[in-house]
Amino acid sequence: MLDMPAIRQDLNLVYDLAPNPDLAARMSAEYSRMSRVVSPADWAIHAPYVAAINALKRERNATILAHNYMTPEIYHGIADVVGDSLQLAVEATRTSADVIVQCGVHFMAETSKILNPAKIVLMPDMQAGCSLAESITAEGVEQMRAKYPGAPVVSYVNTTAEVKAASDICCTSSNAVDIIRALDADTIIMTPDQYLAQNVAAQVPEKRIVWWEGSCIVHEQYTAQDIRDFREWNPDTRIITHPECPPEVVAESDFSGSTKGILDYVSAERPARAMLVTECSMASNISDAHPDVEFIGPCNMCPYMKKITLEKVLWSLHTMTTQIEVPSHIADKARLAVQRMIDLSAAKA
Ligand code: 13P
Ligand code: SF4
């Protein structure tokens, strides 16, 4: 657990982190990407951290990979690459930086390390987990194999390195359907997201898909009745869901896709009003680029993603902690499962 008061004290000895309206005004280019969702007063607080992190990044030859659920000041202020889980994994294979700072959750940092064993991968807060990754172990995968002999295991990237190593191939929400279709098997095991598995099964009825009963604490909270009520009260709103939502929720929506899929859909369709049935930062991060779209709540916050803050990123780069390590006998097997997914997605593109 990070000792934030002590960290704050140490950082203030080295960096000038007091709110700074003059610096904030000079950094108007960064601010223009988030001005609809971050107030000028908040930007004056964030700007000194953004400036310090960006300078340190150059000094350390570091790159910041940030998931679409990061807060706007991280997403627009310090990230070098933003995207969904698949994009971040692919970008991790392309970077020439010596250091990767993962602004996302722990399994994403592990994936970057698996793909880049020689690089330093930093996780700003090791407590940034994921309810899906915590729901299954490698033993759980073996139990599923014993129950369905011969069936290949497709594990969501939202899993630990050990679970990836015990799987045949990984998937993300943007390529799961393609991966299931490409596998030469009638019965396929999907872990650990029961809802992603059920949503994929609905699109690939020719295969028998069996699943582990994990779920995402952010997306499982929505109900079909919530969506029907919302549609009745807001008839002209485009309702867009993430496939980690239960299938009956997805069935009530106009579109369902990964966080990149959601962004692409909004960019292409430009609906007057949109409700993103997903994590709250998704709408915040794309709001300034889509001034003609009114984004309407409710959204749900991911407590794990929200553990990553500018202060913790600065501390991470300053101290070069916490470095992710994956034992090579696990990383080597996990890499096969992740790389198979990346190769199959590239072949489909
Ligand atoms: P994608 O960004 O791949 O859609 O995943 C969403 C998610 O919940 C990541 O934790
Ligand atoms: Fe995990 Fe859900 Fe949070 Fe994504 S949004 S990190 S799947 S708990």
Q: Please write the tens of the pLDDT for every residue from 76-95.
A: 999 999 999 999 999 999 99
Prediction pTM value: 0.98
Q: Where are the beta strands (DSSP E) in the chain?
A: 62-67, 81-83, 99-103, 120-122, 153-156, 169-171, 187-191, 208-211, 238-241, 255-256, 273-277, 294-296
Distance 21 CA to ligand 1 centre (A): 34
Q: Looking at the domain 133-215, which fold is it?
A: Rossmann fold (3.40.50)
Amino acid 326: pLDDT: 98
pLDDT in tens, 34-68: 999 999 999 999 999 999 999 999 999 999 999 99
Please work out whether the CB of residue 218 comes within 6 Å of at least one atom of ligand 2.
yes
Give phi and psi for 64, each to the nearest 5. Answer: -110, 120
Question: Is 4-129+305-319's fold the same as 219-295's?
Answer: yes
Q: Do the beta carbons of residue 54 and residue 31 sit within 8 Å?
A: no
Q: Do the beta carbons of residue 326 and residue 303 sit within 8 Å?
A: no
The residue contributing the CA closest to ligand 1 atom 1 is 84
Cα–Cα distance measured from residue 250 to residue 236, given in angstroms and rounded to the nearest whole number: 18
Substitution candidate for ligand 2 out of 88, 172, 195, 217 with most atoms within 8 A of CB: 217
Q: Is 296 exposed, middle or buried (0-12, 13-18, 19+ CB in 10 A)?
A: middle
Q: Do the beta carbons of residue 51 and residue 23 sit within 8 Å?
A: yes
DSSP helix/strand/coil, 275: strand
Distance 236 CA to ligand 1 centre (A): 27
CATH class for the region spanning 4-129+305-319: alpha beta
Q: Which of 281, 278, 298, 293 is nearest to 236 (CA)?
A: 293
Domain residue ranges in the chain: 4-129+305-319, 133-215, 219-295
The CATH number of domain 219-295, selected from 3.30.450.20, 3.30.365.10, 3.40.50.10800, 3.40.50.300: 3.40.50.10800
Cα–Cα distance measured from residue 261 to residue 55, given in angstroms and rounded to the nearest whole number: 32
Identify the residue whose tokens are 């396929």.
188
Amino acid 297: pLDDT: 84
| Summary mean pLDDT of the chain | 97
